[in-house]
Amino acid sequence: MTNPQSRPPLPPFTRETAAKKVRMAEDGWNSRDAERVSLAYTVDSSWRNRAEFLTGRPAIQQFLQRKWARELDYRLIKELWAFDDARIAVRFAYEWRDDSGSWFRSYGNENWEFNPQGLMRRRIASINDLPIKEGDRKYHWLLGRRPDDHPGLSDLGL
């Protein structure tokens, strides 16, 4: 029986398990389900997201609800950058539009640290937004999980 407080794959990570953890995180965020996503973090998880500092699952849920209410048609791709024992570094890019129809591609890097049960206890994210034309979008899959055959960041030249 799996421990409900456990989120495999567990540290220490290999290249394969770190990549799987990254894809699982991407899939979760693409669901835009703040409650579901927050369960991947410890109850006292510490975040820095841009210039915002958060602690705990309730704050994470509220943050994600605000984010996805503002960032419409959100589609995200994450890619493993590096890993070591209980830490993973990720680069990512996501596309979204605001309520006036202006499109953006947001680029960033995240540093993640996990507890022994595979829950993320720290997330440090640095993100920059680039206005793009709708015709310059590269992510066209239906909202939700990125299809397995859709190119990743490196394949797209991002």
Q: What is the tens place of the pLDDT at every residue in 116-141?
A: 999 999 999 999 999 999 999 999 99
Report the alpha-carbon angle 91-95-100, nearest 5: 145
Quote the pLDDT of residue 115.
Answer: 98
Domains and CATH numbers, the chain: 15-136 (3.10.450.50)
Where the chain has pLDDT below 70, the residues are 1-4
Quote the pLDDT of residue 16.
Answer: 98
Quote the pLDDT of residue 2.
Answer: 47
Quote the pLDDT of residue 3.
Answer: 57
Rounded to whole angstroms, how far apart are CA atoms 108 and 125?
7
Residue 17 zone, left/alpha/beta (φ > 0; ψ -120 to 50; rest): alpha
Quote the pLDDT of residue 5.
Answer: 83
Rounded to whole angstroms, how far apart are CA atoms 120 and 113?
6
